[in-house]
Structure 1
Amino acid sequence: MNKDEAGGNWKQFKGKVKEQWGKLTDDDLTIVEGKREQLIGKIQERYGYQKEAAEKEVKEWEGRNKYHW
């Protein structure tokens, strides 16, 4: 998957991300823009999670939605 495909893929999944983590703002998702580590950081920030908990949630979300970074 090239960078353009990953970016397009992210646009399709933004709605699913907001369903899962409703505290994330549109600005947060613009900053994340498909970058896994940034998503984990924003989840930590908005939900007060430890890094391990945020990583676990993202991993589970990836599996359910078949999203590949």
Structure 2
Amino acid sequence: MTPNETRLSLAAALGLLTWDARSPTLEDEIRAHSPGGVDLVVETSGAWGGLDTAARLCRTGGRVSVLGV
């Protein structure tokens, strides 16, 4: 999930599932793919909103990894 078109294209070319972080229906799109929540979210934006979204998307017992430099 990223708002960066280049990164979305590269990830899709590698066969990864991608979501545009700018989508107003982002959470619905991800939940449609993984109804119980995802197993792992790796949050690298450093924004509070990103961490909040990561926590909402993670399944019960799942993991949120926060990385930053």
| TM-score of the alignment, normalized to the shorter chain, above 0.5 | no
Structure with larger Rg:
2
Which structure dedicates a bigger proportion of its chain to strand? 2
Which structure dedicates a bigger proportion of its chain to helix? 1
Instruction: Give me the TM-score of the superposition, normalised by structure 2.
Output: 0.33
Instruction: Give me the TM-score of the superposition, normalised by structure 1.
Output: 0.33
